[in-house]
Structure 1
Amino acid sequence: MCKSAKEAVIQSNIIRLYAQFLLETDNQPLAAKALLDENEALVLSAKYAPIIAIYQSLQAKANWELGQQEKAYQQALAVSQSPAAANALEALIRANKVLFDYHSSRGNSKAALEAYIKYAEADKAYLDEVKTKTLAFQLAQHQSLEQQNKISLLDEQNKLLKVQQQLDQAQAFNNRLLIAVLFCIALGLGTWAWHSWQSQKRLRQLAEFDNLTGLFSRGHFTQVSLSAVEYAKTLNAPISCILLDVDKFKQINDSLGHATGDWALKEVARICKEQVREYEIFGRIGGEEFCLLLPECDLKHATELANAMCQALRGVDTSASGHAFVLTASFGVTDNTRAGYSLDKLMAQADKAMYSAKTQGRNQVQCYSTSQSVPSTPQETV
């Protein structure tokens, strides 16, 4: 009948109510979506903004329950931003609930909180509206029964109700303001703590790790190694030291550029690190010098490891740097049976053995012996 009479507003409201029943009472989101989509053009043609807002909020909820989250989000966002929704609180409630669920599912806590606050405000306003209408209806009934003899009393009651409503509104506003202030404080503290943690982490990393190779810096290497040597001494366990120096590194820097030199250092660190076990201590202690401390490792196994590293470097394809050159290193090895449990002596003996490898032709491994000595003036090309 409404259709034949061209009462689009009434017809739209009937469709909206039936779709709401299917969605929220009968739990049939698919049927509700089909009904809503089928009659969307009719509802829009009615040009009655509050019903359109409610209609679109039902579409958003139906799409959300059917798993069409992005479409539901767009529809809910449109409803929440529509000026007409201010006159359709149930549309705001439904739309902001979809927005809250959407942001929560994506871990966007800030946007979820904002949506929830709007949802709570709309829900309270809606309940207040229902409450006000109910009270008004009850008062009207009461007035019809006792209008003549209780009119003054009803006036007083109305005044009290208005005052109570104002107090409720003021209390609600204060509560929302308090929540907003607490949230801002918590957000500010959280942001400060996060930035502080990031800064401390960055400073610690700069202090403990070499920026180019990612290995331990000399200071951190020394600190960790001293603890490892002391622990090995307590257990009377073997501990070895390997010191390596990139051959002719100054020539690489001078002839091919510092970028190629940096590439070479990173490649040496990467290849040698592949041979190192997790608990072994590896650091860059100078420009092209690296040191490796090996707990629970005797001289034989340390020498085998140094030879494996030397061979791996010998086979490096340097074309990735943009230049073809030979990348090798000289290795010096010693252990606690020769240096005792002293980090300084272990590194000094490994350094002497490494210089012995340099003087004997580079690209090799030498173990420390008492006959080795450090050259008084090392060549710049080493």
Structure 2
Amino acid sequence: MLRLPSRFWSWPVMISMAMGSLVPHCHATTSASDPAILLDQAESLQRKDHSRFVQILAQIHNEVPHLTPEERWRFSYLDAWKNAFEGNYSKSETQLHKVIDHADSAILVAKASALLLTNLGINRRYEEAFTLANRLTAELPQIRDPGARYLVLMNLSQMLDFSGQTDLALKYARMMEDSIPPGETRCLPLNLQIAALYNSKQLTSADPKLQQTVDVCTAAQRPVATNSTWLVLSSLYLDENQPRKAMELLDRIGPSVRTNQYHDHMLSAQVERAQAHAKLGNDNEARKAALSAVAMSRPGDISEWLMVAYQLLYQIEKKQGHSAAALAYYEHYVVQDKGYLNDVSARALAYQVAQQHMLVQRLETEKLSKQNNILRLQQALDTKAVETSRLYITLLLVILASIVLWLFRLKRSQLRFMRLSHRDGLTGILNHQHFITEAGRVLRLLEKKLGHACLISIDLDHFKRVNDTYGHAMGDVVLKLAVAICQQHLRPSDLFGRLGGEEFGILLHDCSRKQGLDIANRIRIAIGTTPMEQDGSGVSISASVGLASTDTSGYELQRLCKEADSALYRAKRAGRNRVIADTEDGNLVEA
């Protein structure tokens, strides 16, 4: 299972560990009155003693009228750091923009830009964050100060890993390792490399880089960073189906995780413990650990860890025949799964949009340059003899053609990007977000003309068993073939989308309940009777289908989705490989 860097590092912890360690530590004294000395003391205590750091900032605040312009901007930057650390991102962002726009120090501007990148990432303003990341990448060769360069590289590495650009994230993490400033160690660069390697599936539990990172961070007295690497190793053990090793490692690092009270690590350790118990067949212990993880969450939290916890609870309750509890946990799992996938899609989309904007700006610059060349050529034509005019006109046409070609390529790239943003990368059908948007639009149109529609929810039975038995390559083949089978029974006006994993949604346009049941049953039979093979390996698969109709559920998409999902769950509970729909009187109809 893919784990993003946020599983091991949160933005505030990364910034507090790195930024506070980039200056030599000194002992603050209450008698110091020189603003420059107070600023040095405050910066040295960012990570070491936050309460004392805040006290010194309050002391400097009284000296603001006596500060030089450079000292005032430095104070504004430190105050913005404090506000970000304490969660006041709005105030911090305002201060950082002022520093970036007005400070004369290039070093201070670079540090403020790096911190602003963190704020934007925390608040999920991904498009702005990647636009800023592009600017910092362009300015990186001009950043000479070791501390500022280190911070910029750190934030670029984490932001790119956050968006799935693991190769670039690894590159910047290695650049960090090659340019460590005085007072810093290889701990943070190695941790970022571990995260990028893990997310790009280039890491195994036997990789010596894991132990190397643990040794470096232990020597540097960075327990949070050390635990982060141990938790990566535990995840690798689980991915490699070695639950006993994972459990032994979690027991060993448990006291350190509890002592440091880092929320993400406590949550991930509990979920990994639940996964290990589940793989070992200890369902009761797995339930306890998963419930403990759920209890740590705050209202409205969306994370992959919570998604895994609810999925485990659903599977355990379902296995033990507790249908009501299983359904409740499944609903929580769906919320977490969809929220997590939406956030991942938003990050990837923002990264691509930022790249497109940068491409447009580059092309606009090239276009203006070429237009200037055209004007110079036109002036030259006035001074040339008639016998050379045809040559210049030909050259002019070539340049104009090149501009048209560039614009055509840009437009084609934008159209292709728009298509890709609406489609699922594996199957080519609508992705979850676009399917929901289009389904809502179609239902509103049908409601105006009193048309009919059916919403079908399809889930491939025991699909995890296919991945576990035959591998993910066969799983991808099964998903693609199942999509192809469905498309054979759909009309051009029907909407077809992948809702996540092995779950699909279909909106049948201008379709009565009876017609919808017939189509759903034909799809189910076709999936169950079509052989699925790859490289000589064959696999049988079936599908459970739930149906909801506007005849009884109305035209509200949320209600249709809820009732179709409810019918799907009942189909699975009734033995799978069947179609179930709600009737007008609230009973079930099985096709």
Q: Is the 8 A contact 2:474 2:534 kept in 1?
A: no
Partner letter of residue 241 of structure 1?
L
| 1:247 CA displacement | 0.7
- Residues 175/270 of structure 1: CA separation in 2 closer, same or farther (3 Å cut): same
Contact 1:260 1:321 in 2 (8 A): no
SS state at 2:541 partner: coil
Q: Which residue of 2 aligns with 1:30?
A: none
* 2:393 equivalent in structure 1: 178
Matches of 2:540 and 2:430, distance apart in 1: 26
Query: Deviation at 1:296?
Result: 0.9
Say yes or no: does 1:272 pair with 2:486.
yes
Which residue in the other structure is 2:427 paired with?
A: 213
The residue that corresponds to 1:189 in the other structure is: 403
Structure 2 residue identity aligned to 1:199 = S
Contact 2:524-2:543 within 8 A present in 1 as well: yes
- Counterpart of 1:230 (choices 441, 444, 461) is 444
**d(CA) in 1 for partners of 2:536, 2:500:** 25
Separation in structure 2 between the aligned mates of residue 317 and residue 216 of structure 1, nearest angstrom: 25
What secondary structure is seen at the aligned counterpart in 2 of 1:305? Answer: helix
Q: How far has the Cα of 1:315 moved from its partner?
A: 1.0
Give the structure 2 partner of residue 314 of structure 1.
Answer: 528
CA distance in structure 2 between the aligned counterparts of 1:178 and 1:326, rounded to whole angstroms: 67
Residue 460 of structure 2: which of 243, 246, 255 is its match? 246
Aligned to 1:319, what secondary structure does the other structure show?
A: strand
Q: How many Å separate the matches in 2 of 1:322 and 1:209? A: 30
SS of corresponding position for 2:429: coil
Q: Distance in 2 between matches of 1:174 and 1:256?
A: 70
- The Cα of 1:237 is off from its aligned counterpart by 1.2
Name the counterpart of 1:364.
578
Amino acid at match of 2:392: L
Q: Can you give the 5+ residue segments of structure 2 that lack an aligned partner in the other structure?
A: 1-381
Counterpart of 1:328 in structure 2 is 542
In 1, distance between residues paired with 2:423 and 2:467? 23
Q: Calculate the aligned-residue CA RMSD, in Å.
A: 2.0
Return the index of the structure with the highest Cα Rg.
1
| CA positional deviation for 1:169 | 8.6
Q: Give, in whole Å, the separation in 1 of the partners of 2:412 and 2:445.
A: 32
Q: Which amino acid aligns with 1:363?
A: N
- Percent of paired sites with the same residue: 31
> 2 CA distance for matches of 1:284 and 1:337?
24
Equivalent runs, 1:8-157 vs 2, <5 Å: none
Q: How far 1:216 sits from its partner (Å)?
A: 0.8
Look up the equivalent residue of 2:446 and give its one-letter code.
A
State the secondary structure of the residue aligned to 1:212.
coil
CA distance in 2, matches of 1:169, 1:341: 72
Q: Which of structures 1 and 2 has the larger relative contact order (alpha carbons within 8 angstroms, sep 6+)? A: 1
Choose from 512, 517, 525 the match for 1:303: 517
Deviation at 1:285, TM superposition (A): 1.1
Long gaps (5+) in structure 1: 1-166, 373-382
* C-alpha distance in 2 between matches for 1:366 and 1:353: 6
Residue type of the alignment partner of 1:190: V
Give the total of aligned pairs.
Answer: 205
Distance in 2 of aligned mates of 1:334 and 1:227: 17
2:431 pairs with 1:199:
no
Say if 1:168 and 1:251 are closer, same or farther in 2 by CA, change over 3 A: closer
Q: Report the alpha carbon displacement of residue 338 of structure 1 after superposing the two structures with TM.
A: 2.2
Scaled by the length of structure 2, what TM-score is found?
Answer: 0.33
Which residue does 2:551 correspond to in 1? Answer: 337
Residue 20 of structure 2: aligned partner: none
Matched residues in 2 for 1:339 and 1:214: separation?
A: 30
Preserved contact between residue 520 and residue 579 of structure 2 (Cα < 8 Å) = yes
Q: CA deviation at 1:168?
A: 12
For the 8 Å contact 2:477–2:534, the answer to whether it is kept is no
What displacement does 1:205 show? 1.5
- 2:111 corresponds in structure 1 to none
What's the CA shift for 1:197? 1.7
- SS of alignment partner, residue 496 of structure 2: strand
| 272, 281, 287: which one aligns with 2:501 | 287
Cα deviations by residue, 1:95-154 (Å, 9 ceiling, x for unpaired): xxxxxxxxxxxxxxxxxxxxxxxxxxxxxxxxxxxxxxxxxxxxxxxxxxxxxxxxxxxx
Asked if 2 retains the 8 angstrom alpha-carbon contact of 1:263 and 1:321, the reply is: no
Q: Is the 8 A contact 2:481 2:532 kept in 1?
A: no
> Take 2:504 and 2:383, find their aligned partners in 1: how far apart are those partners?
73
How far is 1:294 from its partner?
1.1
Partners of 1:349 and 1:298 in 2: how far apart? 16
Whether contact under 8 Å (1:242, 1:292) holds in the other structure is: yes
- For residues 168 and 343 of structure 1, do their structure 2 counterparts lie closer, same or farther at Cα, with a shift above 3 Å needed? closer
Structure 2 distance, partners of 1:193, 1:169, is 31
Q: Judging changes above 3 Å, is the alpha-carbon distance between structure 1 residues 194 and 275 closer, same or farther for their aligned structure 2 residues?
A: same
Deviations 1:256-304 (A, max 9, x none): 1111010000001000000001101111111111100012111111010
AA of the residue aligned to 1:172: E
Partner of 1:77: none
